[in-house]
Chain A
Amino acid sequence: MKNLPRILFAILLGSIPLMGIADTYTDLEERVVEHELPNGMRFLIFERHDAPLVSMVITVRVGSVNEVTNKTGLAHFLEHLAFKGTQTIGTTNYKAERKALKELDAAFGAYHSAKKQGADSVTVVELYAEFKQKQERASGYVVQGEFSEIYERNGGSGLNASTSCDYTDYYLTLPSNRFELWCAMESDRLANPVFRELYKERDVIIEERRMWIDNNPYGLLYEELQSIAYKAHPYGHPVLGHLSDMANLSRQDVRAFYETYYVPQHMTAAIVGDVDANEVITLIDAYFGRIPSKPDPPELITTEPGQPGIRRVLMKKGKSPRLYMLFHTVPAGHPDELTLELLSIVLISGHSSRLYRSLVEEDKIASNLYLARGNFTYGGYVYLAGSPMQGVSAARLEKAVLEELAALKENPITQEELDAAKARWKVWYYYPIASNSSMAFFLSWYDRCKGGWRELFDRVDEVDKITCQDLMDAAERYLDPDKRTVALMEVEDE
């Protein structure tokens, strides 16, 4: 009798069919206009006339994965410097400024070498004064902040950029009548960037690292997890870079990295909003067509070898234990990616999910549980983060998570669980297209870093084909407890 209401509601709700949403996606897919320039740069345009706004995202397939020892943090540093202007924006006289920048870099080099080689303090102080004097001179040609100021004066919102291990995004929303401004500004910075004010901006990114990592216990813990998860692949180093590398990055480093990796055939721009696709294409051809073709960047050869055993790190800090657990999975675009998404939902999303129900609701071991998937070009992962309830250690939570994963064998995933996961997946899947800015982001990301932009829409057909057995196979293949990487934060000793 206790379960009667539950059964009645299950019958009532079970009678309502799950809808097919593929039609909506087909309609949306057909509205995307694709355009490619002779230099290889790609554009995706989606007209949406609800408000007089247009959102743009440029995705460049370059990230920290392209960095080498001594030069970590370079992709992110370049992203910052890309806001410093061009040969025509941010300067009063580029020709004179270029000369001043050369002298400045020479002065910095002399100061830096003297300091490193242990020159006497008088020499170091003199060279430093020379460097500051040259810096002052170069600054004299700079129109500080002009690049962002032009956008802001024109109502630009959300002006920013981000760097990940695989790609770098530049994004902005503008009043739609100013779309041409974006074409002029972005094509100029992609073709003619000037990495001015470098030494000051280097201090800024070091402050950024301090904020996210060095002064943040959970940032530090994540960095540790990342570093032990990879022994060969550059995914193991932080996107922000190691402090010692960051402090030594030079203009030559940035320029060489830009010349090698900022190639038009590795760039996609998505434009979503109140624009006319034909007019957009005319402007794109004129402005972005001037970006010269470049050779393909070198291919990354290093592959991460299979993980032979458990890797773990333990930190003791503060009073809030934390568990991070990572399993290597598949690269972006792999057929198992979708199966892993559904498996993640079964395990941790919604109140009926296995880990939530068991560890949060019943045993009250976890306060919060979070599971993310890293969909990366050269190999992804499933990553679980958990905060134990007060009085519970991170190690105890780790044990409980492993027990739940082991229980999958005795209690296989049911059709009911799979249906619920698919339903949740479909509701979530509307998120990427709900707003102009998110749609622009997902279109360009799928196009440049996954299996192409159409995958954003086509995956909805694939999800219905996945079975319970697929999920069980994926759990066995990828969530192997003997190949886990774990970072634990336990309470600091008194």
Chain B
Amino acid sequence: MSRKIALLLFLLPLTWGIAKIKGPRSMEFPARLEFTPHQVDRFSLSNGIQVFFVEDHEIPVTDIYFLIKAGENRVPADHAGLADILADVIAKGGSNQVPKDVLQDSLDRFGASFTGSAGTEQATFKLHLLSEHVPALLPLVVGALRDPALPQNQLEIKRGKYLTSYQGRNDDPRSVAPRIFYKLIYGEDSPEAREVTAACLENITTEKLKKFHQATYRPCHIMIGVKGDFDPKAMLNLLERCIGDWPEPDEETHHEFSLYIDPADPGVYLVHWPGSVQSNIRMGHPSLVRSDPRYPESRLLAEVYGGSWYSRLLHQIRIERGLAYVVSGSISTNLEEPGVFRGVCLTKWETTLEAAKLMLEIISDLKTEGITQRELELARSSWLASFPAYYAEPEDVMSDRMNYAEHGYPIDFWDQLPDKVEPLTREDINRFAAEFLEPEKLIILVLGDTTSFDGSLSELGEVQIIDPEVY
């Protein structure tokens, strides 16, 4: 006995500082973590331009973003691509004071980059550089934004790139399926789905670019975000000098087009793709505007539907049956118009019908039976615990603040969500699922080689054939 005690006394010091091993199943943590997002400061320049700063002094790099309400939703369908081409030509083409080659050589000299592109709602420019070069380079890029040279050569290059891309639009089935799906959902002429065709490119001239620039690149449409290693006071002074004196013109601005322009009827659509060894299945219908009071419910339903490893789509189609590598579902939202509720699955031809039917069953079950208490607890716990990851980087917080400010939402819209998600009950989610999910309004698209399917697509409903060469 005494020898055992002696041994224990001998071993005891060895165990000091050694953590006790626990099993993952027995570990418990508080549901929410105290968390303060990175601080973002907001200012106004003399001409009303809103400026957002988030400091990060660990590395001597600064990123300056210009967000301008000059997106494709301000361009008519027969000029599709104009907003994006303008942004690209501005970023590459210099200003009437500083020609293209000087701008590009100056950026290259310091390893800086200045890029521009336009999406549906806005044009985005980003200047990325070592902090010490901001005073030299910022005035040059602001000059390009205010008074762009718009050289014909840059327009030709961008036009050529679009034509090249259009030419190969049907080469890769993975890009054909989403292109057609979003055209069906939003409508062929929607700024969210339409294509930049040769006819559109013919319509886009330097004069048209100039006109669009004059109408949309104006202080009331601009927000600036600065992230990185900078002195806020000096940066504010520099911005004031560079861009704060840009006067607001008097003319009317372009109106915005809706995202939804004549969408297709619900139903089954087929793209026959001879030789394809994998089918691409997509289904969906319009979803919510983010300001919808049921947005918190939609977050948890999306988790259970297809947004996690434990979701029904992943669990039943990939984990239980091994039918797919890619299978997912989401409920996206836009800030001013509905987003898309959608499901995606890529599976071999001989399980096309099996997978499509499973996807439909999952949607139908969620509508009629709802989620289980276990699913609710899992989704809630997962969503709340991962909340800080949404704001992992300083620019995540800044871009969020800018986005919500631009669309008239409370600037801390996202920060308020945990308090709204935490008390949700199973009944809340199921009430929402029953209202929101509309299987009869689904647009179902299948792209694949029909000769090898495990049945006829007509089992899902009347099938309409789409020719990707003309759609």
| Chain A interface residues (CB < 8 Å from chain B) | 5-6, 9-10, 12-14, 16, 18-19, 21, 24, 28, 48, 50-53, 88-89, 144-145, 148-150, 152-159, 173, 175-178, 180-181, 184-185, 188, 197, 199-208, 210-211, 214-218, 282-283, 285-287, 290, 317-320, 350-353, 360-361, 364, 367-368, 387-390, 416, 419-420, 422-428, 430, 433-437
B101 at the interface (CB under 8 A from A): yes
Closest to B397 in A: A51
Known: A152-B308, A200-B319, A428-B111. 14 other contacts (CB 8 A): A16-B110, A52-B33, A53-B388, A145-B314, A154-B29, A154-B381, A155-B381, A211-B278, A215-B173, A282-B19, A286-B21, A419-B109, A427-B61, A434-B61
CA separation between A96 and B130, bound complex, in Å? Answer: 61
Q: Which of B92, B381, B387 contacts A351 (CB 8 A)?
A: B92
> Given the known A-B contacts A145-B309, A350-B107, are A427 and B20 also in contact in the complex, defined by CB atoms under 8 Å?
no
CA separation between A216 and B346, bound complex, in Å? Answer: 13
Closest to A155 in B: B385
> Given the known A-B contacts A217-B172, A389-B160, are A319 and B167 also in contact in the complex, defined by CB atoms under 8 Å?
yes
* B239 / chain A contacts, CB cutoff of 8 Å: none
Asked if residues B21 and A155 are in contact (CB atoms below 8 Å), the reply is no
> Given the known A-B contacts A203-B322, A214-B278, A389-B164, are A184 and B21 also in contact in the complex, defined by CB atoms under 8 Å?
yes
Would you give 28 A-B contacts (Cβ < 8 Å), ordered by A?
Answer: A6-B102, A12-B136, A50-B38, A50-B394, A88-B25, A145-B309, A149-B378, A152-B308, A155-B387, A156-B386, A175-B33, A175-B388, A178-B29, A184-B22, A200-B321, A203-B323, A207-B323, A211-B278, A211-B325, A215-B173, A217-B172, A286-B18, A320-B164, A320-B171, A350-B108, A351-B92, A352-B108, A425-B111
Closest to A387 in B: B164
CB distance from A485 to the nearest CB of B (A): 23
Asked if residues A152 and B315 are in contact (CB atoms below 8 Å), the reply is no
Asked if residues A155 and B315 are in contact (CB atoms below 8 Å), the reply is no
B391 at the interface (CB under 8 A from A): yes
* A201 / chain B contacts, CB cutoff of 8 Å: 322
> Given the known A-B contacts A24-B60, A210-B277, A434-B59, are A154 and B385 also in contact in the complex, defined by CB atoms under 8 Å?
yes
B108, B113, B387, most chain A CB atoms within 10 A: B108
Asked if residues A351 and B168 are in contact (CB atoms below 8 Å), the reply is no
CB distance from A205 to the nearest CB of B (A): 7
Asked if residues A214 and B277 are in contact (CB atoms below 8 Å), the reply is yes
CB-CB nearest 7 A-B residue pairs: A155-B385, A320-B168, A423-B111, A200-B322, A318-B171, A424-B111, A203-B322
CA separation between A61 and B298, bound complex, in Å? Answer: 42
Closest to A199 in B: B322
CB distance from A184 to the nearest CB of B (A): 5
Closest to B389 in A: A157
* A148 / chain B contacts, CB cutoff of 8 Å: 309-310
Asked if residues B30 and A177 are in contact (CB atoms below 8 Å), the reply is yes
B293 at the interface (CB under 8 A from A): no
Bits for B10-31, please: 1 = Cβ < 8 Å to A, else 0.
0000000111111111010110
* A180 / chain B contacts, CB cutoff of 8 Å: 19, 22, 27
Asked if residues A19 and B60 are in contact (CB atoms below 8 Å), the reply is yes
Closest to A12 in B: B136
* B153 / chain A contacts, CB cutoff of 8 Å: 361
CB distance from A270 to the nearest CB of B (A): 16
Asked if residues B385 and A430 are in contact (CB atoms below 8 Å), the reply is no
Asked if residues A427 and B382 are in contact (CB atoms below 8 Å), the reply is no
Bits for B38-78, please: 1 = Cβ < 8 Å to A, else 0.
10000000000000000010111100000000000000000
Closest to A27 in B: B58
Asked if residues A24 and B59 are in contact (CB atoms below 8 Å), the reply is yes
Closest to B308 in A: A152
Closest to A368 in B: B161
* A12 / chain B contacts, CB cutoff of 8 Å: 136
> Given the known A-B contacts A5-B99, A13-B136, are A202 and B322 also in contact in the complex, defined by CB atoms under 8 Å?
yes
Asked if residues B385 and A13 are in contact (CB atoms below 8 Å), the reply is no
B450 at the interface (CB under 8 A from A): no
> Given the known A-B contacts A144-B315, A184-B22, A285-B18, are A352 and B392 also in contact in the complex, defined by CB atoms under 8 Å?
no
Asked if residues B21 and A5 are in contact (CB atoms below 8 Å), the reply is no
CA separation between A416 and B132, bound complex, in Å? Answer: 20
Asked if residues B132 and A19 are in contact (CB atoms below 8 Å), the reply is yes
Asked if residues A13 and B38 are in contact (CB atoms below 8 Å), the reply is no
* A48 / chain B contacts, CB cutoff of 8 Å: 58
> Given the known A-B contacts A24-B59, A180-B27, A216-B172, are A52 and B388 also in contact in the complex, defined by CB atoms under 8 Å?
yes
B23, B319, B323, most chain A CB atoms within 10 A: B319
CA separation between A319 and B167, bound complex, in Å? Answer: 6
Bits for B373-385, please: 1 = Cβ < 8 Å to A, else 0.
0000010011011
B128 at the interface (CB under 8 A from A): yes
Q: Which of B97, B128, B157, B319 contacts A360 (CB 8 A)?
A: B157
